[in-house]
Structures are given as C-alpha cells and as structure tokens.
Structure 1
Amino acid sequence: MTNVCLTFDFDAVSLWITTMRQTSATPLSRGEFGALVGVPRVLALLAEKDIRATFFVPAHTAAAFPAETLQIRDAGHEIALHGYCHETPVGLSRDDEGRMLDRALKKMRKVLGADFNPKGYRSPAWDLTADTVSLLAERGLLYDSSMMADDYRPYRARTGYVATEDQYERGEPSDVIEIPVAWELDDFPHFTFLNKPMYLGMRTPVEVFELWKEEFDFCHSLGDGVFTLTLHPQVIGRGPRIAMLSRLIDYMRQAPGVEIRTVAEVAEERGRRLLRT
C-alpha cells in the first residue's frame, strides 16, 4: 500500500517575523493571506475530497489566529508542533531547546485546550540539533517529520549524532519515528519569490504538478511507500495552485492501493513495525 500524507505548515506571520526577519506590512500581509484566505481554501478542498490532513502549527500562529486554528481542529485534522515562532533550534543549548518546546506546548494549549497532546513535530525550516530527537522522546512524541535520510520509507530517528571535519557518527536509533520530507516535495521553493537566489521560485502549477506526479509514481512503484507533501496555506492557497492540488489528489487516488492518511496514523502503523526490528 502507498500512504499519502498531505501536510500543511500553517506558519502565518511567524515565518516572516523570525525566519525571514521581515516585519514590515507587506511580508506580514503574505502571512495573513495564509491564515485568512489560504486556510479556508485548503479546508474547503479537504472537505470536498473527504480527506484528513496534518497541520504543523507554530504556537505563535495558534495565538495570533485562534479561530482558524480551531477550525482546523474542529474539521477533524491532526495538529502537530512546529516550534514557538518558527525559530531554528540550532545554537540553543539542550536545556534552552527543551524550554522552547515546553513554551510552545503551553501556548498551544491556551488555544486548543489543556488536553492537547500532539503526537508529532516538524522543526521550522527542517533544522534540528543533536538533542532534538531525544527531547521529543522525553516528551512522549511519536514522530518527527523534518529529515531526509530516506525518501519514501519511514525510519527510526537517531539521536546524539557527532559531525566534525574528522568524524561522523550517526548516533543511536530512538523510538521516535521519522516520516521523511524533501525540498522537491515542498511548495515553498517552487512557488515563492523572495528576491533572493535561494527563493526565486516562480514555477507554474503545471510544472509542479508534473514533478509531483512523477515523484508519486516512483513512490507508488515501491509498493510500500509514504508520499509526503509539505504545503503552506500562504503558498498553495492561491487559486491556480489549489486547483492543481485538487487534480493531483484525484490522480493519486485513481492508483490502486493508495490511502491518504494523517502523519500520526502512518507513524503509528509504521512505528509498530520498525520498533519490532
């Protein structure tokens, strides 16, 4: 069976405040578009297709846009952690990184309720430290979705790696299940223009549809893959792009043995297998 996970990083304005360091009105308005226009379009599409998806939500977004965050939850979608304000943990001490995770969880619970216990985490900008995985395990999280050591097969995330000019040690496998990601399967680099060489993406929906279709076809040919798309409401939420995503969903569903599931559902099923080996 091929599992498809549609994941949405609901960054809103946190992306611009912390990662991009842009707090003037125009970049912030791009984040507002994601919350006020993109999220309703995404939710409408998911409802039309009868799909449950996973939304990775920074605590800042939940507090800034509580109505939209609650709409996601009330529509039956999974909500997972995505940092406090889309910050990178790189450079933080172990204690400071742990406190940042706890701070994010506390703020999320003010919006989603004291019983909010996320099963997953995605690091902002997919940046982790040697401590991140063990910190997630200590807090009882089931999975991470930030790394790329495989393309379509989940694996046990490793903790305590060592990387220097003289040596590389992968670290020890943990009980945290990694659902791998890829820049090729992220809408941000394909579509986002930031006037920087890193982000000159002005590709057409047709081009990206073909790229993702070919990636899906290869994944499906493996017979037991997990195809994970990383999408942002402020990016995929533009009209022609959401229409392209609708076409892609229809294309994937016509293939035999395909199921669209939340990341938590896939991690629970794959985790049972991986932890037995």
Structure 2
Amino acid sequence: MIPSSVDYTRASSVTEAIRLLTDNPDAKILAGGHSLIPAMKLRLNAPSLLIDIARIPELRFISDEGDKVVIGAASTHHDIISNEAVQDMKAMIEAGELIGDTQVRNMGTLGGSIAHADPSADWPAVLLALGASIQVQGPNGERSIAANEFFLGFFMTALDEGEIVTAIHIPKLAEGQQTAYRKFMQPASRFAIVGCGVSVTVEGGLIKDAKVAFTGVSDAAFLDEGVAAALIEQPVTLETIEAAANAAAEGDIHINEDHFSSQAYRKHLAKVYAKRALAGACGLD
C-alpha cells in the first residue's frame, strides 16, 4: 500500500527536533524508518509531518564511560554489534545479529526500536536483562527512565508528549557476570515469537544475581521474577537451569496469542528459550 501524503523535514539538533514535535502534535520522529514506514504503508499510522533525526551527530555515538557504555539513540544495529565497547556484552551482540537482514541492521536504530516498543522487538528484553536506563529529552528538559519502567504495554512507553529518546546507558558487566540472548523467530520478519535475554552473575560456583527478560510473550517486554528467584544461591548446573526455566511465564502474566502461536505454545517456548539463554550465559549450551 501507499502511505498517506505527509510533510517531511530534517532536524539539525535535538533541540530543533523537540521544538518541531511540540509545534506539530501529529508529527512523528523518523530515525531508521524500519518500524514507522511499514506502519505508514499499512495506514496504521498517518502523521502530518515526519521529523528526520537520523543525521543529528549528537544522537549517533557509542561511548565507553568507565562504569557504563552509552549508546546514542540514532546508533544503528550494525553500529552496536561492530563496536568494541559492547563486545563483552554477548546478549547485545547475539540480539543485534538476529535483527532483520543486512539492510535493516544498517538502517534501523536502537532508539527507534525501543521508542516504537513493538512487543516482539529484540532490544527491550536485552536492555531489561542488562539493567539499562533510557535517557530522554523533551520540552521540560532531560530525564532518565529505568528500562523496567519504560515499556508499559502494546506499543506503549513511558515517553511523555514531545519527548524523544536520546541515549541508552548500560552498566558495565560485573566480575562473574555473563549474558545471553536466544529467540524463536518468525521466519519472514525475524521478529521474536519468543525471545529471552538473561544476565547471570556467578561467584564460588553459585548464582548470586540473575535477570531474565522476555519479549514476544506478552504485550510488552518484562522481567520474569519467578525464574530469577529460582536461580539465586543455586549451583550452576543444567538441573538448576531447567528447574528455574520451568517457572517461566507463570503467574499473573498475559500471554499473547496470534496466528503464529497459541498461548499454550508461547508459554512452552518461554520455558524452552529461558533454558537455552541461561545455559548460554552459563557456558552450558
């Protein structure tokens, strides 16, 4: 299909982009375009104005800041997986390499992906598992939002009117901490039917800290506290991992159902991919 007629402008700075967005309430921010443009073609989104931020230099960078890595919102998936600063964060590399195809990885952006908040996108689960925070800027200034407070629901985030994502802050890995990402993908789009990002910290052969996050399972990416709790102070064995993974997607969690997967099958996949991600992080796969 062909999108509705739309005006286009290119912002030269974050400040200009925010001003344009404030002055045009029906406008949309355009970065890589691999989420917004398909939605426009399907007439699911019909903005009056596109504000292109892809070439704002202050939004495209990756910086090692000692205790954390900061990634500009306009950094592409390829920028991330090829940057030295994130190579030890295996979940970032594994997720980035599974996104779309070469064109998508070279054009799509981290900021655009998380602001769009597709419930099957890969980055949200990884950012939750890594304890990231999202830096945003709007007409009222800057603020930081923890990743576990950012993804609110089906294509919903904690962004206020006129705010845009400017950077993502990811803490450096602690001693003994390892991460992984595994997913069962829809073969055409490569979006996650179920994706699982994990972080595990091991000390003296015991799991001292764990974060297990899912995408594709529910209306928004989420941390699965039940799986994480079942891992703490347990030995690093496949038996431990399998027992913890069996708690995945249980309790008061809405499970998605669509033409790709029933609720029962998605819940089963959550357990399978929690086990695979945890085994990968612990070096047991």
- Asked if Structure 1 and Structure 2 have the same fold, meaning a TM-score greater than 0.5 normalized by the shorter chain, the answer is no
What is the TM-score of this pair, normalised by structure 2?
A: 0.25
Greater share of residues in strand: 2
**Higher RCO (CA 8 Å, separation ≥ 6 residues):** 1
When Rg is computed on C-alpha atoms for both structures, the one with the higher figure is 2
Greater share of residues in helix: 1
